[in-house]
Amino acid sequence: MRKRKFFIVLATLITISLIGLSAKCGIAGEAPTIELKIYDGPDYSESDNMYYYRIEATVTGIPDPEVEFSTEDNVSPLSSERVEVGVEKDDSYDLTATATNPSGTASASITLEGDFGEEVAEPEEEVVEEVTEEEEVTKEEISGRKIIFASDRDSNFEIYVMNIDGSNQTRLTNNHALDSNPTWSPGGNKIAFFTDRDGNEEIYIMNANGTGQTRLTNNQSLDAFPDWSPDSSKIVFESFRDGNLEIYIMNADGTGQTNLTNSPADDSRPDWSPDGSKIIFSSHRDGNGEIYVMNADGTGQNNLTNDPIDDSFSDWSPDGSKIVFESNRDGGNLEIYVMNADGTGQTRLINNQAPNDVYPDW
């Protein structure tokens, strides 16, 4: 009993001493402050009739405050202190945010307008040319004008766009997470990509100028490598939500997410045929990597390569008659092969002693 009392007294003395030391050293808590400001925008998106702002919270306080923004559907988090806000044309929106630490809470708000009359025009520099009802722009035409890519030049991977000559390199995403694997919609007005800004990989889409970044998938497992259907109405992707990689399909707005493969083994890297009727993918259901094809609804799953060595990373030819892929069936190093769409005529295209030739794309 005396030992227990001694330790209690000692702990109390230590606590009092630490409090006194903190006060002497100025290590006291500091109540938070917060200020909201527009750091980008407004950018007008004709496709959804919205103005998009990017807002940053500037906060102070000891310890560092936690920031919480309004949680409506039109507010998309970009980082812990940045959000993108969509405001309908001819409307307004009051964005609020709070900063909280043990010393207190502070709040701030900012009014964002979606009604500018003729003062604010559409962005002077569009990523893609305007598509009229009389002229439909194909994915190939869009990619012939602009190139989207992922870059880690900003210390993390972000999505960029540039002209085909490398000029006008423009950052489309802006957060502290991974944004990767961008792909144009066939109409050229949307970009699908995956990001881990929510703590795990999810599928997002955005407008061609980077506005309107919208999360389509929402679960605790990986969703990645999206690919558009030729009519832009659906997106196929790989997901780990069932405990292994499966091929999923969803509508372009994120609804109707459906497992197409339903296999106990990993199925990954889907690619839609140009006519929209088929999907090729890599599968390990036979004990090694093989190239499979299936109908767009998941029926008729068929092994095209049937080789005991790994085959993977396949892609359709523009006319849908051929499939290119990588394989290490000849000598152990990865080489590029091509075959007919039905799996016949498998032919090695590269034959060298280099370690690997990989990731073919038609």
Q: How far apart are CA 301 and CA 346, in angstroms?
A: 19
Looking at residue 45, its pLDDT comes to: 73
User: Per-residue confidence at 115, pLDDT binned at 50, 70, 90?
Assistant: low
Copy the structure tokens of residue 273: 């045929």
pLDDT, tens only, 62-90: 888 889 998 887 888 877 787 888 888 88
pLDDT at 244 over 50: yes
Phi, psi of 355 (to 5 degrees): -55, -50
Copy the structure tokens of residue 298: 């998941």
pLDDT, tens only, 246-264: 999 999 999 999 999 999 9
pLDDT higher at 152 or 330: 152
pLDDT at 219 over 50: yes
Task: Specify the residue for token string 């964002």.
Answer: 112
Task: Specify the residue for token string 């839609």.
Answer: 272
Looking at residue 121, its pLDDT comes to: 40
pLDDT, tens only, 326-342: 998 887 788 999 999 99
pLDDT at 235 over 90: yes
pLDDT at 274 over 60: yes
Looking at residue 46, its pLDDT comes to: 65
Could you tell me if 236 and 246 are in contact, meaning their C-beta atoms sit under 8 angstroms apart? no
Q: Which of 3-12, 13-22, 66-75, 311-320 has the highest mean pLDDT?
A: 311-320
pLDDT at 125 over 60: no
pLDDT at 117 over 80: no
Mean pLDDT of 7-24: 39
Looking at residue 100, its pLDDT comes to: 92
Domains of the chain (ranges plus CATH)?
30-113 (2.60.40.10), 139-348 (2.120.10.30)
Neighbours of 275 (CB within 10 A): 11
Copy the structure tokens of residue 290: 């093989």
Looking at residue 258, its pLDDT comes to: 97
Phi, psi of 282 (to 5 degrees): -95, 140
Q: How far apart are CA 230 and CA 273, in angstroms?
A: 8
3-state secondary structure of 3: helix
pLDDT at 5 over 80: no
Give this prediction's pTM.
Answer: 0.63
Q: How far apart are CA 306 and CA 293, in angstroms?
A: 12
Mean pLDDT of 272-297: 96
Looking at residue 21, its pLDDT comes to: 41
pLDDT at 243 over 70: yes
Mean pLDDT of 95-105: 91
Number of H helices and E strands in the chain, helices first, is 2, 26
Percent with pLDDT over 90 in the chain: 51
Q: How far apart are CA 33 and CA 30, in angstroms?
A: 9
- Mean pLDDT (the chain) is 83
Looking at residue 28, its pLDDT comes to: 64
pLDDT at 127 over 50: no
